[in-house]
Structure 1
Amino acid sequence: MSGKIKSRSAANADSVSGSVSCDERILRDCHQLYVDADSGLISIALSVGVTLLPPRKKITIMLMGNHSAGKSSFINWYVEEHIQRTGVAIETQGFSFVTSGRKRESLTGNATLHLYPHFKPLQEFKGVSEYLSTEVCTSRQKRFSLVTFVDSPGLVDGDMKYPFDVDKAIMWLGELCDLILVFFDPMGQALCKRTLNIVEKLNENHGDRMRFYLSKADEAGGESDRQRVMMQIVQELCKRPGLNKCGFDMPTIYIPNSSKQSRCVNQIDEVCRTVEKTINQTVQTTLNSLEKDCKLIIEAITDTLSNDRQTSVQNGRARCKGCLLALLGFSIPLLLMVLLILGSLSRELLEVVLGDQGTEALSLYLTPMVKVFESMSMEQQLYSHGSLIFLSFIFLLLARFSFRTRATLSGRQKRQLQEKLEYIQEVVKNKKKKLYEEYLRQSVGDQDMDL
């Protein structure tokens, strides 16, 4: 590696010329580690009962605000192409996704949901799918290759009818977006109650993702007019308990125009820095999630192999117990049969078969039992024989239940799990370490690296 470490801006400047930036490649490689058909983390995790979700290769940014707030104009400026229609009228009636791709293309609702399967629940909102679209363009300006914009419908008060429940749809999308940009314009619609109501609800759970901007700031008149508009918006926001918080910030932005000079301070670059910061956080979050998921899979595989070993030991104990019970079960009727046979033989015949010493030893052990049986009546003897047979049956029944064992992994399955474990420990974790090094080298020198 070269001794000179490129700065983050220099490292990502390659994206402008059409090559893949470092962050883009890291997100793409992480995503591939999850979805690979043969050795992806998702399929490995499923084999041990763990469900994982693949990381996204781009961040999602939703723009919301009242109509004519400049949302579509901002997207066109960021992309540096005229993708979204702009104008005074309510141009964006539905949700429009804007993303980078190989060629310029416009997708309808059904194709959009195929492209973004995690947005498929939008179909449950009546009327939304008919007002979904995607604009794919080849621009790689700024950090657009790592961004998917969601241009939401312009919000208005009064009797304006939407073809779907726009409030619920925006709330649902807000759950999935990494960043929510709220545009207030100074032209009389900045205090749109519908916008403020949705903003307040989103802020309850996703306040850290929301950023507020006074758009079209160059059209607000002089500095005093602009300050008055800012005060009106801030006062209206502060009336809402959820939005009345310390550290509230609302930069003034407008689309630069070389033919129209303005003395208003333009903080539109703040938006770009916010987008870049979100991308950086997403890369770190993705790498951290990869490490956590690897640990989760390793623990699941280790537990599976450990449980299998314990099951094998328990099965061995169960077989030994079953064998002992079966032996007892068969020994009782066998002993009764031996007693009956030996009891019917004469002492002279036993001496011929067993010899004097064998006969004496057998008599020593059998005489007490024979005397007990001889002292019994016929009915008592039958009862005792029946009891012993029943006891033998109980032993055999217990032996049968003891022989029941739990299923264990085959040798092939254990080898496959061991191979997956080694793959994650030796390949995936090393890959994660290298990706983290590459990410840090964009901003940290070699002398500060201690990985």
Structure 2
Amino acid sequence: RQRVMMQIVQELCKRPGLNKCGFDMPTIYIPNPNKPSRCVNQIEEVCRTIEKTINQTVQNTLNSLERDCELISEAITDKLSTDRQTTFDNRRARCKSCFLTLLGFSIPLALLALLVLGSMSQELLEMALGHQGTEALSLYLTPVVRIFDTLSGEQQLYGCGGLVLLSFLLLVIAHFSFRTHPTLSGKQKRQLQEKLEYVQDVIKTKKKKLYEEYLRQSVSDQDMDL
């Protein structure tokens, strides 16, 4: 193959009129001072083309490195931000679930306390709670007792059943409200933060230095002065 290529180059050098199809193959050879040649040595032009291609490749690589750093930083920042929002939503869901659970248990407990305290005598209540405690309890329970007194026995039964059903529904809602989404652990967040700092502080700084070095090698001293 090399012999064929050399033969083609030699023939094109001797008879340029053969190259009528736009066959671009520069003439490259090592000059010999003892044997001058009438063929134009195009090795300098080829070297300039190679150098230009290398410079363009280096510049594209550095630009691609900067874009990749931006994409990585943006992805890590979005992931950390999403995790913070998820943590906040989970905390709010837990608070909501605890409130509904407390409310769901408080209704049957209040009914039970109302029945127990209603069946106790005044003297026994004063012995257990004291005079001030009994008055405070009467202050809160009197409106409820009056409402129940206005209802018939069947209505009171339905009312108690409705309150128990409401308590059950509140507990069910609290159970489903307690469902949370997975979040990052402390170790994972530290690792992501370290990667973000490494990209921002190390990779970008190194890319900047490489780009400056590339410019110093590519631009002449006269262009730098300008």
State the TM-score bracket (shorter-chain normalisation): 0.7 to 0.9
Structure-1-length-normalised TM-score = 0.43
Q: What is the number of residues matched between the two proteins? A: 219
State whether structure 2 residue 169 is matched by structure 1 residue 394.
yes
Letter of the structure 1 residue corresponding to residue 26 of structure 2: I
Aligned to 1:245: none
Structure 2 matches for 1:213-232, cutoff 5 A? 217-219=12-14, 221=15, 225-226=17-18, 229-230=19-20
Aligned to 1:87: 4
Aligned to 2:26: 253
State whether structure 2 residue 122 is matched by structure 1 residue 327.
no
Structure-2-length-normalised TM-score = 0.81
Question: Relative to structure 1, is the Cα distance of residues 371 and 215 closer, same or farther in structure 2, using a 3 angstrom cutoff?
Answer: farther
Largest Rg, 1 or 2? 2
* 1:270 to partner: Cα distance: 3.4
| Higher helix proportion (structure 1 or 2) | 2
Aligned to 1:300: 75
Q: Which runs of 5+ in 2 are unaligned?
A: none
State whether structure 2 residue 69 is matched by structure 1 residue 274.
no
Aligned to 1:311: 86
Q: What CA distance in whole angstroms lies between the structure 1 residues aligned with 2:202 and 2:174?
A: 48
Q: What CA distance in whole angstroms lies between the structure 1 residues aligned with 2:43 and 2:215?
A: 27
Q: What CA distance in whole angstroms lies between the structure 2 residues aligned with 1:326 and 1:387?
A: 17
Q: What CA distance in whole angstroms lies between the structure 2 residues aligned with 1:434 and 1:426?
A: 12
The root-mean-square deviation of aligned C-alpha atoms, in Å, is 3.1
Structure 2 matches for 1:117-266, cutoff 5 A? 217-219=12-14, 221=15, 225-226=17-18, 229-230=19-20, 233=21, 253-256=26-29, 261-262=37-38, 265=40
Q: What CA distance in whole angstroms lies between the structure 2 residues aligned with 1:215 and 1:307?
A: 68
State whether structure 2 residue 221 is matched by structure 1 residue 448.
no
Residue 143 of structure 2, aligned match among 368, 385, 388: 368
Q: What CA distance in whole angstroms lies between the structure 2 residues aligned with 1:290 and 1:252?
A: 34
Report if the CA contact (8 A) 1:215-1:253 is conserved: no
Aligned to 1:414: 189
Question: Relative to structure 1, is the Cα distance of residues 272 and 446 closer, same or farther in structure 2, using a 3 angstrom cutoff?
Answer: closer
Q: What CA distance in whole angstroms lies between the structure 1 residues aligned with 2:148 and 2:49?
A: 99
Determine which structure has greater relative contact order: mean sequence separation of CA pairs < 8 Å that are 6+ residues apart, divided by chain length.
2
* 1:374 to partner: Cα distance: 3.0
Deviation per CA, 1:284-337, whole angstroms, max 9, x where unpaired?
Answer: 111111111112111212222222222222221111111111110111111011
* 1:400 to partner: Cα distance: 1.6
Residue 62 of structure 2, aligned match among 267, 270, 287: 287
Question: Relative to structure 1, is the Cα distance of residues 215 and 302 closer, same or farther in structure 2, using a 3 angstrom cutoff?
Answer: farther
Q: What CA distance in whole angstroms lies between the structure 1 residues aligned with 2:99 and 2:77?
A: 33
Q: Secondary structure at the match of 1:277?
A: helix
Q: What CA distance in whole angstroms lies between the structure 2 residues aligned with 1:403 and 1:397?
A: 10
* 1:382 to partner: Cα distance: 2.3
* 1:409 to partner: Cα distance: 1.7
Report if the CA contact (8 A) 1:308-1:409 is conserved: yes
| Higher strand proportion (structure 1 or 2) | 1
Letter of the structure 2 residue corresponding to residue 354 of structure 1: L
* 1:368 to partner: Cα distance: 2.9
